[in-house]
Amino acid sequence: MQYQRLGSSDLTVSRIGFGGMSIGDPSQGRHSWIRDGREAEVLLGEAIDCGITFFDTAGVYAGGSSERLIGQFLRPRRKDMVIASKVGGDTRSMAPRGGLLGAARIAEDIDLALSRLQSDYIDLLQIHRWDPVTPVEETLEALDRAVKAGKVRYLGACSIWTEQLLRALKLQQDNALARFISMQVQYNLLYREDEAEMIPACRDHGLGVIAYSALARGKLLAGLQAPSERSRSDPLTAQLFDAPADADISAGLHRLAGQLGVPPAQLALSWALHRPAISAVLAGASRPGHLTAAAAALAIKPGQSVFDALEQPYRARPVSGHV
């Protein structure tokens, strides 16, 4: 495993992070592919065996049961682990949200997360989405109070627009509030729209970038003979990844992976890990071996010419990375 500071902060994370959306109580969530009980413990144990120290979850993942599983499993080794969670999500629908980042809601959600995680603190607390209703000043002041109270060590954001991030950073600086140290974005060979504005902004302001959905939800990049369980059951997959160039990108990935003698998924992860400003890539897992294979991508160094060839078929597409 490799480890890296998150942006210009002093928080060190494993470059492969565990994506907590893949574990929890299926009856509490929207997805059939999440793993519970002994299956979840096996996946978490594999993460530890791989040297993964960075675990990303959220209160909305399977009704909070993802946090419970991660907190319970990591409790004996808590001081050596980095746990990231989120506030401001909505368990009811993916419709436009409002009022989820008010001061009272943030305080309540943090306390619930700490209880589920069986921890006195959250290493990285991220706002899950932008709240169009609550004044951003109220949100940032509430987050700052959580840091000052010792309940949260660092702050981050997830899936917001570049102009929103820059506005928040300026308010944090002008008012001497705890600032964001990271930004979590959807980023993979099929979706690279954040290269235009968000990633350069993060580099300019010293934020680490955390990439999620690095295999495009299993769509086209995983090198499977048949669609993954997530691809078959997740209606958003078809909406997010249906651009005309996708087939060419996938074909190029499989061809180059074959020439190098590596699995396509590992080559796709290697590409993401080598991109500028990417501090960590989150890997989901639904069965044993997924995380071990993801960690093996760190050893693949195909060279810039291969990466250039992987990128060549890409064409700009409608921005949909905030889902």
Phi/psi region, residue 214 (left: phi>0; alpha: psi -120 to 50; beta: rest), is: alpha
* CB-based contacts of 130, cutoff 8 Å, min separation 6: 101, 160, 161, 164
Residue tagged 């002994």 (tokens): 38
The rounded Cα 224 to chain-centroid distance in angstroms is 22
Helical H segments across the chain, by residue range: 37-49, 65-74, 103-117, 136-148, 162-174, 198-205, 229-233, 235-240, 246-260, 264-273, 290-296, 304-311
For residues 256 and 309, is the Cβ–Cβ distance under 8 A?
yes
DSSP 6: S
Residue of 3, 61, 154, 187 marked catalytic: 61
- Which one, of 258, 195, 182, 264, lies nearest residue 223 by Cα? 264
- 247 burial via Cβ count (<10 Å: 0-12, 13-18, 19+): exposed
Beta pairing class for 16-19 and 12-14 = unpaired
For residues 282 and 214, is the Cβ–Cβ distance under 8 A?
yes
Report d(CA 226, CA 248) in Å as an integer.
Answer: 18
DSSP 150: T
Q: Is 61 a catalytic residue?
A: yes
Question: How many Å is the maximal CA-CA distance in the chain?
Answer: 55
Give me the amino acid identity at 143. Answer: L
Read off the tokens for 302: 């195909």
Please list the active-site residues: 61
